[in-house]
Amino acid sequence: MSGLTAAHRIALAALIGRCPETVLKAVSAAVAALPGGRAAELRLMLAEEMRDRARRAMVLAPIARMFQPRTDGIAAMTFPASVLPRLWRAAIESEPALLPRLDQDEPDAIAVANRYCLSAAAAVRDRPALVWPEDLDPARREQGLRDLASCLDLAHLARRGLPSIEVWLKRPDGDQLAELRLLVKDCSEIHADGASRLLEMLFSRLDDAVLVLRIITRTSEVAGRKGFLSASELAGFVDRLLAGVDERVARLAAYQPGKTSGGVDLAMADLDWCSGVLAELDVTLTLDPDSEWGRRVRDSRTKVSGWLSGLLRTADKAVDKALPLTRVQTSGRMSRMAPMLEAPAGGDAADAALALLRLVGATRGAAAIFGSEAARKTLVDALTERLSGYADEVLTMVNDGEAPDEGHALRLVAIAARYLELIEAKDAARTVRRRAAVAGGGPATAGASSRAA
């Protein structure tokens, strides 16, 4: 069978080059067992692409993460993704014969990788249009080229520090701290702003942005003294983190159950992120309450605490709307409040209460950090008593034959049990479900109870 034509190979090469890693692996697995000459050529092309990407990842490891935005949205030094393959081609263009050495033993491969990084830096300075086209993000192209070239100048030093990141984040000993400080000093001797560029490269490797503070405060022997960060060029990292807190606090303030994009999961992620950052700031830094950072941290805490207090009040009212009570006459002029069995077992009110109670149950840790745990615990206790009492009354009405629609009544009981579960009153929820399972007068009722639960 004839092989691929030149046009086929050009088209496939362009397509393969655009495939992300997951797609590339899936395609390789799909064509692995295909017969024929064309399939064999395609397998060879895929293997070459994967080997090329592995080499590129190894050579450009210190800056590879900088070609994609941070998932947490925190500002960082980044470059357009389309620049990465162009930079790689420019780096290896003059010495392609060295590529096989990247597949050999580590010392030799690292030496070649560092050499390619220097070639890439030269290409960025001498042939910028080859690496970063003039029509690609022109607003930050000039500064981006300077940043990229400087980072490549420092890549051999940053590569030396990559294996030690986890150590520096935990409890480094004296030798490990000395290694970090020497690395920062070496970078500063190559570029005046070499320390900040090194930290940008390390920052790109951290999924949890706030952890960069642990590295920053260990880069100098005066890290623990008042004013070290605020007087340093590295203070920008703290400002970015506080900006991230402000952004998330604003999102929390705008949160509306059932209406906000992302819903409960996004609200919880924002709350957890804020609590994590503010807690790390307390542990890592000694903030002057009268400083700008101290004021911003205090304001953020106040806003989040206020949001939590509002959440608790709103959740309390939402339960009343989802499982309303109505006044019923007992004897003479005597009356009491009893469950409204005609209330819908779903809809906006029930969904809003569901979302809010999920937050009440999930904010236990964050509430303690922001000083709202006592109020949250008080609400949980009150809701546990109220929802258990509501379920008891409905089940009594079902068992006494006073419920006009036993199946619907049991669905309301199931909702109450679900709410109890969300606020972590699991024993009470289990009790309600057990009672609901045997409530009513016959098999039909038991079936309805089972479906509702």
pLDDT tens, position by position, 68-86: 999 999 999 999 999 999 9
The residue-averaged pLDDT of 40-52 equals: 83
pLDDT, greater one: 22 or 3: 22
pLDDT for 450 beyond 50: no
pLDDT for 1 beyond 50: no
**Element of type H or E holding 102:** none
pLDDT for 228 beyond 50: yes
pLDDT for 452 beyond 60: no
The token pair that represents 418 in the structure block: 């679900």
Instruction: Give the model's pLDDT for residue 440.
Output: 61
CB atoms within 10 A of CB 20: 8
The token pair that represents 229 in the structure block: 């960060």
Among left, alpha and beta (phi > 0; psi -120 to 50; other), residue 137 is left
**pLDDT classification of 33: cutoffs 50, 70, 90:** confident
User: Whose structure tokens read 């706030």?
Assistant: 210
| Angle, CA of 161, 162 and 163, to the nearest 5° | 95
Instruction: Give the model's pLDDT for residue 223.
Output: 45
What would the pLDDT profile of 161-191 be if each residue is shown by its tens digit?
999 999 999 989 999 999 999 999 999 999 9
Instruction: Give the model's pLDDT for residue 163.
Output: 93
pLDDT, greater one: 417 or 221: 417
Nearest to 398 by CA among 385, 411, 388, 387: 411
Instruction: Give the model's pLDDT for residue 30.
Output: 77
Which residues, 6+ apart, have CB-to-CB distance to 103 below 8 Å? Answer: 51, 55, 109
Q: How many angstroms separate the CA atoms of 1 and 133, rounded?
A: 41
Instruction: Spell out the long-range contacts of 138-147 with Cβ–Cβ below 8 A and sequence spacing 24 or more.
Output: 144/79, 144/80, 147/77, 147/79, 147/197
Whether residue 27 contacts residue 46, with contact meaning beta carbons closer than 8 Å, is answered with yes
Instruction: Give the model's pLDDT for residue 14.
Output: 77
Q: How many angstroms separate the CA atoms of 4 and 64, rounded?
A: 33
pTM of the model: 0.80
pLDDT for 107 beyond 70: yes
Whether residue 119 contacts residue 94, with contact meaning beta carbons closer than 8 Å, is answered with yes
Question: Under DSSP, is residue 329 helix (H, G, I), strand (E, B) or coil?
Answer: strand
Q: How many angstroms separate the CA atoms of 198 and 166, rounded?
A: 16
Instruction: Give the model's pLDDT for residue 400.
Output: 85
Q: Which amino acid is at 398?
A: V
Instruction: Give the model's pLDDT for residue 5.
Output: 76
CB atoms within 10 A of CB 185: 13
Mean pLDDT of the chain: 86
Q: How many angstroms separate the CA atoms of 322 and 309, rounded?
A: 20
Instruction: Give the model's pLDDT for residue 207.
Output: 93
pLDDT for 221 beyond 70: no
The token pair that represents 320 in the structure block: 């009343």
Question: Under DSSP, is residue 52 helix (H, G, I), strand (E, B) or coil?
Answer: helix
pLDDT for 443 beyond 50: no
The token pair that represents 334 in the structure block: 């005597």
User: In this predicted structure, which of 31-35, 48-52, 392-396, 435-439 has the lowest mean pLDDT?
Assistant: 31-35
pLDDT for 248 beyond 80: yes
Q: Which amino acid is at 255?
A: Y
Q: How many angstroms separate the CA atoms of 249 and 255, rounded?
A: 10
Instruction: Give the model's pLDDT for residue 230.
Output: 53
Instruction: Give the model's pLDDT for residue 451.
Output: 38
Instruction: Spell out the long-range contacts of 161-167 with Cβ–Cβ below 8 A and sequence spacing 24 or more.
Output: 161/198, 161/202, 162/61, 162/62, 162/205, 165/202, 165/205, 165/206, 165/215
What would the pLDDT profile of 327-344 be if each residue is shown by its tens digit?
876 776 777 788 888 888
Q: What percent of the chain has pLDDT over 90?
A: 53
What would the pLDDT profile of 136-146 be if each residue is shown by its tens digit?
999 999 999 99
The residue-averaged pLDDT of 21-43 equals: 78
